[in-house]
Every structure is written in C-alpha cells, then in structure tokens.
Chains A and B, each alone.
Chain A
Amino acid sequence: MNPSTRTLSVGTLTRVEGEGALHVKLKDGALESVQLNIYEPPRFFEAFLRGRAHTEPPDLTARVCGICPVAYQVSACNAIEDACGVEVDEELVALRRLLYCGEWIHSHVLHIYLLHAPDFLGYSDIIGMARDHRQVVERGLSLKKAGNQLMEFVGGRAIHPINVRLGGFYSVPTRSEFAPIAEQLRRALDNALATVEWVSRFEFPDLELDHEFLALAAPGRYAIENGTIARSAGPSFPVADFAAHVVESQVPHSTALHATLDGGRYLTGPMARFSLNSSALSPIAAQAAAQAGLSAECRNPFRSIVVRAVEVVYAIEESLRIIGEYQRPARPFVDVPARAGVGHGVSEAPRGLLYHRYRIGEDGLVSAAELIPPTSQNQAAIEADLARLVSDNLALDDAALTALCEQLIRSYDPCISCSAHFLTLTVQRE
C-alpha cells in the first residue's frame, strides 16, 4: 500500500437521523477538502405548502421530523399568528412551552443515551452498551419515556402531536389531570441529574471552535418556544430581520442548503443556547452545569452531550414549574382569522433555532413559505470543525480518524431528514 494515497470508507454512518456522507480528502499528508454530503432527497415542503389554508402549516410541517415535530408546529404557529396579528394568551403559551419541554427531554435523552454515549464508552451501539451498563440504559429509557408521556399528555400523542392548532390547542387539560405526569417528572429529575453526573465523567477530545453563536433569548428565562435572536458577536435582532442576516445558498455536494450569518459561519443548537443563555438557567440546572465542569460558555462540541444533559434537567424543572402554576386556560385557543401579510416565527428546536416565514394571500392561502432548520444552518460549521479535527489528528490511522470524525458529527446531533429536507464516510488520502 502506498502511504501517500489512502482511501478510507465507512458504510452508512449510524446513530444520526437521516442519510448522508462525509468525504475527507488528504493530499501529500495535508487536508485538501471536507464535504458533508447530504444526499437525502429534497422534500419540497416549501413548495407544497403554497396554496394550502393558513391553518395547515403546523400539522403539515410537523411531518418534517418525527423527533422534533413540536418545533415545527410551534415555529409555524408563531409565524402565522405573527402574519395575522394575533397574540396568544399567556397561559396557552405556557402550555405550548410545556409541550416543547417534553420534546426537549425526549429528543435530548434519545441522543445522549442511544446515539452519542456509545462513542464515549467504546461501544458501536446502544445494544453493546446495554449489555454492560443495563441500569444506565434503563435510566435513559425511563427518562425518555417521561418526555414522551408529557408530549402525549399535552399534545395528544408523542410523535406528530394532534392537539396543537393555530392560537393554542384543541383541548386543554384540567389542573388535577396533571398529577400523574408531575409525579413522573419529579422522579425523572433525579434521573436527569444522574445523567449530567454520568456524562460529565466522559473523556472529551480537545477541540475549541470559534464560530459565532446564534440562539434565541428571552427575558428572565431560557428561551424555548419563542424569543428574540441573540448572537455572540453582534447585537440581537428581531425575528422579522432574520432573512436580512441569515442567507441560504446551495452547495453542489448537498441537498440541504448552507446558511451564513452576515456572511460568516455560525452555529446554532445546545452549545449556542447555553453559551448565550446560561445565566437564565434554573438554580438546579445551573448547579448541575457547574458541578459538571461547564463554565458560562461551551466551545468544545464533544462537551455538547453535557450541555444537553443540563438542558434535560432544565426542561424537567421548567415543566414542573409550569404545571405547579397551571390554571386551566379560559379558552383552549385564540381565533386566528386569516389576514394577508408576511409572518416570521422562531423557536428553539432541540438541535437549534428553527425559523419559519409565511406569506398569506388575500384568499387566506399560503402564497410563500420558507423553513430554515438548524442542521442546515450548522452544516458549514460542522465541515469547518471536521477540517480542524482532521488537521489536528493527521497522525491517527484511518480507522481512528474516521471514528473521531463520526463522534464529532454525532455531537451536533444532526437531523438530516430535517435539513434535506446522513452518513457514509470516505477519507481519501493522495
């Protein structure tokens, strides 16, 4: 074998959501290119939303993803309610936030235990890990179930909830009906704290990224279901200005669009959220973060598993707070009559900021739609981090380098189904 020309390929990269590939090209011992190739076919959501009633996008766009349907529902509701000039009652927004907490718990726990932890513990998948760490995996499954059941209780079902509508919900629970869910969440909080402690003891490869961070911010709380747009290297801006700052462009090697923030690379997701909003964490979540060794900012993507675990603690605490203050809303929804105009909506999906924009015509139908999911926003940053990781670890053999790249990719919890609307890995050395 000629050491200057090496090609390394791995079959489908597992433990990511969707289909894609990574091509790394090395020439004369130096990195030449890294391409994150998302080949999952385009899904044309933005096209088929045109001509649909203004009430339909929350249900239709929920189908973009089985892991984060609430994110799509909420961003769609926020955008259309904005277009129609409707403000939703505070108690209904709280219920929306509660449903969203369920999605954060379910999605983050799925990623922590089933997709990412095996990398840190030297297993190829959850099955091998479960053989040696049965109680740990059972803890994860129990925690995930708590998130699923919260979604089911508020949203009607855990995947693609059916109780969400423009202006609120089709039906809202009574206070007493929350009792079993609250009890389950109280037990889940202990499991969530144990999860933070568990992942904080993993060994994290050295890598510090310098991307700008973009995440929602909201006064006095960790932004989830809405907010203004905050960034690490510039002033915040309103949601309506999103398109003026974030520009999507097509790249030949991906069916998902790449995005830039004022022309620069940026990152959205748990690390951005935590770094911009860690002061807004609840006391128990903040204490768990400190005990896990996180400072106010996290720039090592491998440590994002700890951030996710802290966010699970937060989501459970926040759920218990909302349930504790809950009074059944006077009405389950606010009417949202169609009004011609443009509306913008954002929310913090588990993987990062999700932007929706709709134009509603005089006929009450959607005449234009734009969805910008977090994974496509993060693609350029993921490629840059892979380039840096490969350059820093050229001495590793192909197998070790490939494994490290896969671990890094998984640390972004990329959802290719969302972004293409992921992953075979090829390393080519010339």
Chain B
Amino acid sequence: MTGASGEIVVIGLGNRYRGDDGVGVAAAAELNRLALPGVRVVTDIVEPMGLLEAWSDARLAMVIDAAVGTPPTPGRVRRCGLSEVVTADGLSSHSVDIGRTHALGEALGRVPDELVLFTIEVADTGHGIGLTPLVARAVPEVVSMALAEIRAEIAP
C-alpha cells in the first residue's frame, strides 16, 4: 500500500487526434493549467504499465476518460467506481484497460489508496483534433467535479 503522504494524480486518458476521445486529456490539461500544489497531471499514457507508473505512489488517483454510452448521451459526465468499468478478457499492450491494470497493480501492491473514475460520453471519435460542442461543454463540469474531489482530499 502507498502511504497517506502520497500525492494526488490526475490522469487524462485518450487520443486527442480522435475527436471526442481526447476529452479526458483536455480536462486533465485544464487541471494542469491551475498548477495545484501537490497535484500531478499525466496525459501521455499509452499502455497499462504507464498507468501503474502514474498512480503507484498516489493517495488519490483520478482517471478521466471518454466513454461510449448505450443509448448515447454525448457530454454526460459520470463518476464511477472500478466495478462499473467494463474490462476485457486479457491485458493488452495495445490499449489501457483500467480494470485489468488495477488488478495487476493490486497483485504488485501498486495501486493508489483511492481511485476515482470520471467518464464523459462521446459523440464522435473520428479522425481529427477537437471536441464536439456537447462534449466540450462537459469539460468544465468534470474539471469542477475533480476539483471538489481534490479539495475534499486535502481538507484537514
């Protein structure tokens, strides 16, 4: 286990060259601009080991990622637990599966003390940079939810 002295890590997942898939990276970049003391922002994770490296010593890790809803509600923000994340059968070096990566982290004692996931439902993940309007409007919402988590964590 990590100690309570660990930092807070915000992890933005996604590919900003695939439209709305970059919403997690966009939200994390907004939080990075605030330069909050004791908060580290990571946005360049492309494989599961990167996720383990990023959150290993954290007391709180917040992962922000794009999601596909059925039926779709583009721009809908959800705070969810690990059990709500759909995971694949195996750990792949070609994609980051949060559930499977967390299970590997647990086996290695490399998980944050607390993990919070925010998902934003997407409309278009085609080629190109930029978010669709509904998804772009969700960025301030998820940023303020993440800020509330951070404040609650650092409050005495």
Interface string of A205-231 (1 = CB under 8 A from B): 000000000000000000000000000
User: Does B90 touch A at the CB level, under 8 Å?
Assistant: yes
Q: Are B93 and A114 in contact (CB under 8 A)?
A: yes
A323 within 8 A of B: no
Interface positions of A from 293 to 352, Cβ below 8 Å from B: none
Q: Are B93 and A126 in contact (CB under 8 A)?
A: no
Contacts A12-B89, A134-B109; A417 near B46 (Cβ below 8 A): no
> Assuming A66-B46, A134-B108, is B90 touching A125 (CB within 8 A)?
yes
Residues 7-44 of chain A: 1 if any B CB is under 8 Å from the residue's CB, otherwise 0? 00001101101100000000000000000000000000
Is B107 part of the contact surface with A, judged by Cβ < 8 Å? yes
Complex-state Cα separation, A404 to B103, whole angstroms: 26
Judge whether B49 and A144 touch: CB under 8 Å: yes
Cβ of B39 within 8 Å of any chain A Cβ, yes or no, is no
* Contact residue among A11, A18, A114, A145 (Cβ-Cβ distance under 8 Å from B91): A114
Query: For residue B49, which residue of chain A has the nearest CB?
Result: A141
Q: Does A67 contact B (CB under 8 A)?
A: yes
With both chains docked as a complex, state the minimum distance between the C-beta of B18 and any C-beta of chain A, in angstroms: 13
- On whether the beta carbons of A138 and B94 are closer than 8 Å, the reply is no
Q: Residues 84-106 of chain B: 1 if any A CB is under 8 Å from the residue's CB, otherwise 0?
A: 00000111111000001001100
Q: Closest residue of chain A to B53, judged by CB?
A: A145
Determine chain A's interface SS by DSSP, over half rule.
helix
- Given known pairs A17-B94, A138-B108, A417-B94, the reply for A127 and B103 (CB within 8 Å) is yes
Q: Does A387 contact B (CB under 8 A)?
A: no
The residue from B47, B53, B91, B109 contacting A126, defined by CB atoms under 8 A apart: B91
Distance in angstroms between the alpha carbons of A255 and B93 in the assembled complex: 22
- Contact present for A125 and B108 (CB under 8 Å): no
* Residue A94 at the chain B interface, CB threshold 8 Å: no
A88 at the interface (CB under 8 A from B): no
Name the interface size band of chain B: 10 to 19
**Which chain B positions have C-beta within 8 A of A127?**
91, 100, 103-104, 107
Assuming the contacts A17-B94, A66-B94, A144-B49, asked whether A126 and B89 have C-beta atoms less than 8 A apart, the reply is no
Q: Which residues of chain A are near B104, meaning CB under 8 Å?
A: 126-127, 130
Query: With A134-B108, A137-B108, A159-B46 given, is the CB distance from A125 to B93 under 8 Å?
Result: no
A17 close to B93 (CB less than 8 A)? yes
Q: Please give, as numbers and ranges, the residues of chain B lying within 8 Å of A134 by CB-CB distance.
A: 107-109
Q: Given A15, A66, A131, which contacts B90 in the complex, CB threshold below 8 Å? A: A15
Residues of B within 8 A of A115 (CB): 93
**Is there a chain B Cβ closer than 8 Å to A247's Cβ?**
no
Residue of B with least CB distance to A157: B44
Q: Mark B18-58, 1 if CB is under 8 A from A, else 0.
A: 00000000000000000000000000001101001100000
- Provide the bound-state CA to CA distance between A347 and B93, in Å: 23
How far apart are A407's CB and chain B's nearest CB, in angstroms? 14
Complex-state Cα separation, A15 to B48, whole angstroms: 13
Docked Cα-Cα span, A144 to B108, in Å, equals: 16
- CA distance in complex: A11, B88 (Å): 12
A110 located at the interface, meaning its Cβ lies under 8 Å from any Cβ of chain B in the complex? yes
How many angstroms from the CA of A11 to the CA of B100 in the assembled complex?
18
Nearest B residue to A160 via CB reads B46
Query: Which residues of B61-115 are within 8 A (CB) of A?
Result: 89-94, 100, 103-104, 107-109
Is the Cβ of B94 less than 8 Å from the Cβ of A11? no
B56 to chain A minimum Cβ distance, whole angstroms, is: 11
Residues of A within 8 A of B107 (CB): 127-128, 130-131, 134, 137
Contacts of B91 in A (CB 8 A): 14, 114, 125-127
Residues of B within 8 A of A137 (CB): 107-108
Distance in Å: Cβ of A141 to nearest Cβ of chain B: 6
User: In the assembly, what is the distance between CA of A229 and CA of B149, in Å?
Assistant: 59
Instruction: Tell me the bound Cα distance from A128 to B89 in angstroms.
Output: 13
CB-CB under 8 A from B49, the residues of chain A are 141, 144-145
Binding site for B on A (CB under 8 A): 11-12, 14-15, 17-18, 66-67, 110, 114-115, 125-128, 130-131, 134, 137-138, 141, 144-145, 159, 417
User: Can you list 15 contacts pairing A with B, beta carbon distance less than 8 Å?
Assistant: A12-B90, A14-B90, A15-B90, A18-B94, A66-B93, A128-B107, A130-B108, A131-B107, A137-B107, A137-B108, A138-B108, A141-B49, A141-B52, A144-B49, A159-B47
Task: Beyond the given A14-B90, A125-B91, A141-B52, please list 10 additional residue pairs across the A-B interface where CB-CB is below 8 A.
Answer: A12-B90, A15-B90, A66-B46, A66-B93, A127-B104, A130-B104, A130-B107, A134-B109, A138-B108, A145-B49
Question: B residues engaging A (CB < 8 A)?
Answer: 46-47, 49, 52-53, 89-94, 100, 103-104, 107-109
Task: Give the top 8 A-B pairs by smallest Cβ distance, nearest first.
Answer: A14-B90, A130-B107, A131-B107, A127-B104, A127-B103, A130-B108, A159-B46, A125-B90
